[in-house]
Every structure is written in C-alpha cells, then in structure tokens.
Amino acid sequence: MRPFAALLLLALGLPSAAAWAADYAPAEDRPGRIVLVPMSVERPQGEGWVLVRRDEMHLTFIQPAAEGRNSQVADAASRVPDWRAHDSGELAARMREEMDRIFADKRFEKIAEKIQPETANAGKCARYSQQVRDLASHGADGRPQVILLFGLACLHPADEGVLLTATFSERSAEGKGTPGIEQIARRYLDGIRPHALLKGDDWQPLAEQDDANAQVWLGRSLVLRQKPEQGMDWLRRAAEQGHLEAQTLLGLASLRGHDQPLDARQALKRLLPAAEKGYAKAQGALAIAYLQVAEIRDEAASRRWLAEAAQGGDPFGQALLGELLLSGRAGWEKNEAAGLAWTRKAAAQGDANSSLMLSRLLANGIGGPKDPAQARFWLELAAAQGQPEARKLVEQSRPASSQPPVATPPGKP
C-alpha cells in the first residue's frame, strides 16, 4: 500500500480541474475531469477508456477495439503554434492547412472533409471533421480501414497566441462505424474548457480576493515549491469557505505530519465533512487512514468509505479495493473477479501501479481467463507511464537483437 507521504504528494501534485467561472479560476478536482495547461478536459463517456498519456499540456485516451466495438482515440492539447489567427475564420483556414499536411501521406485517401468557423465561444473556435481511408491498414475483409475524425480548435480567450485543440477519432471497416459517433464525439469536444493562464504566485491576486479555487491552486503550488507553511495557510482559508479539495488536502497533511506531528484526529475533522458530501478523494483518504493508522483503526469504517470512494471514481480507492478483494484482507471477502474489475478501473485512470498489477492478473488468469495480449498491453502501458518494475520487465523481455550494443571496455578487443 502507498505510504501517506506518497499519497499526499500525489494529491498535491495532481493538477486541479478547470471550468468557466466568473472569477476565471479552476474549480476543485473531481473524478472524470483532468486539467492541462491551460484547459480542462472531461473524460470520454462510457466504459473501456484508458488514459495512456498525460503531461502538462497533452493527454490521450484510447478505447481499444473489442468484439462489436471499434477502436477510438480522444486527444487534447494546448500549444503555441508558429502562426497567428485572430478570429474563427482565420483559425479555420489554418486548421485546414494543418490537416492537409497531416493527411498528405500517400497511405491516406481523403473521402470527406468539413471545416467551419464557430461563432460561439467569442468567435474564436473552429470545428472540423475528416474521413479518410488508411491504405496501409486492412480489415479481415481485405479492404482498407477508415478513420473518422472530429476536432475542435480554439484560440484561448485570454491570449490568441495559445491554441487549444481536441480530437475524437474512430478506426473501423468502411461502412461499419459506430452509430451516433458524431454525437459521441461532440459530447467529448464540448467538455473542453479553458482556464486562466496563470501559474504559481500569479494566483495570489485572485486568492486575496477570497476566490477559494485560486487559494487551493496557490496553496498547492507553494507546498510543491517547498513552502509548506505559506501553502497550508492558503489551503486553510479555502477550507474555511467549505472548499472540499482544500479540506481533503489539509486532512492528508495532518496524516503526513507535514512539518508537524501526525494528527489523526485532526485529519478526521478535515476529511469527514468532505467525505460526507460525496468527495471521492476524501473518501479514499479516510478509508486508508482507518485501515493504516493505529490510533483510529476501524476496519468497518474503512470498508464503508473505500466502497464509496471506489464507486465515486477515486483511482486510489479503486486500486486499494482491488488489492483487498484479491487478497481477502481487512474484512473483505476474497473475490478475485471483483478484484480484477476494480484494478482495471484504477488502471484505466492512469494509475501505473494498477496497470502493472492488471498485467500480472491477466497473464496468470487470476480473476478471469488468461489474456497474454492484454497482459502485454498493460505491462507496456505501465512501463510507458514510468513504473520502474514494469520498465525493467519490458526491457528484459526484448529480444537480444533489439538490445543496445554493449560498449567494449577500453584496452579490450
């Protein structure tokens, strides 16, 4: 299980979520919403989506093909392009040029394309769609597969030099696309929201105006920059306004003993109100605290809050529930099939340790049938996410011919 120090750093290090607001500051984090710089993205709806890439400015979800289901990819990014546009018409023209370059490769054959300015969002967006044949990829019938792509590009409302983009694409046999795919794509694209182009101490003016969201962002930034006392002060101010994430982070800090003695009772005072209001991150922290801190150990309470956290979408809660169901510990009845299912949910949210665990379960047929291909997929994903044991296993499994040459020591033939 993760030590509280690691849990706190993860909680403080994850970007918070963003949404339109009068004060233009990001809102608290919640399951299903992910923040980049400077935009927030709602997770695609439906089962089977896997977060495979995430950094400050880019994220990618995939939904691998399965029986009766085509493969789909949802992507979002922010960047500073080497060109400028000032309205939706200019932006649409630029996006047409970019798409022409992307699909200029002779392996692609354009079937249809539509790019149009969008007058909503202050007239700074363009929507586009494209359908192409991939002449280098064929289905079981021997015919080229078709890629259907929907996209949204917006100039950031506070800075026209920043471009926000999102795409939703599907690969399928021609004529076998998912019914209603355009509406599915639009729901994802409509979940993109810009937020303020601010970092670090730039949040202070908003925080001083008692914007609780800005106080949380500023507090987190100060803690990560090794200024815990200042950071905690801002988190307390946000918590006094009832901000659930601030309450949760302060509760985690009490468990961590951040420049102060570990105070389990104080942690409960912070975490319980947020948990009782349905905040999944607080529920997961409570479950771990009740299980691991001797002073307040209560397995029954841990089970209650762990079930709530996992159902609410907290990845740490899902990972812990999967682990306990697989082993039958802490009062949980052993149930390998359920343990596999919860481990998969945590892995799909980008938890690298869960990806490695899921790979092992699938490789050994624990909780379900063996699936070597899926086991390899999750192992390589965990390695790509930086999980050290997974990286080592992937490296060891490569053929000797693909290993980098060993340098000959000086003075030896």
Q: Which tokens is 74 given?
A: 């949802």
Mean pLDDT computed over 211-219:
89
Q: What is the CA radius of gyration of the chain?
A: 24
Q: Does domain 39-194 have CATH number 3.40.50.300?
A: no
What is the structure's pLDDT at 139? 82
User: Where does the pLDDT of residue 9 fall: very low under 50, low under 70, confident under 90, or very high at 90 and above?
Assistant: very low
Task: Sort 299 into a burial class: Cβ within 10 Å, 0-12 / 13-18 / 19+.
Answer: middle
The pLDDT tens digits of the residues spanning 29-77 come to 567 888 888 888 999 988 889 999 988 899 999 998 888 899 999 999 9
Mean pLDDT computed over 220-245:
91
Residues of the chain with pLDDT > 90, as a percent, come to 60
Mean pLDDT computed over 274-281:
94
What is the structure's pLDDT at 29? 57
The pLDDT tens digits of the residues spanning 150-208 come to 999 999 988 889 999 999 999 999 989 999 999 999 999 999 888 877 777 888 888 99
What is the structure's pLDDT at 16? 27
Mean pLDDT computed over 218-235:
90
User: Where does the pLDDT of residue 121 fall: very low under 50, low under 70, confident under 90, or very high at 90 and above?
Assistant: low
The pLDDT tens digits of the residues spanning 280-291 come to 999 999 999 999
For residue 405, pLDDT beyond 50: no
Mean pLDDT computed over 383-412:
69
What is the structure's pLDDT at 7? 31
What lies within 8 Å, CB to CB, of 290 at 6+ separation is: 296, 297, 298, 299, 301, 302, 305
Rounded to the nearest integer, the mean pLDDT of the chain is 85
What is the structure's pLDDT at 404? 45
User: Where does the pLDDT of residue 259 fall: very low under 50, low under 70, confident under 90, or very high at 90 and above?
Assistant: low
Residue extents of the structural domains in the chain: 39-194
d(CA 239, CA 150): 40
In single-letter form, the type of residue at position 29 comes to D
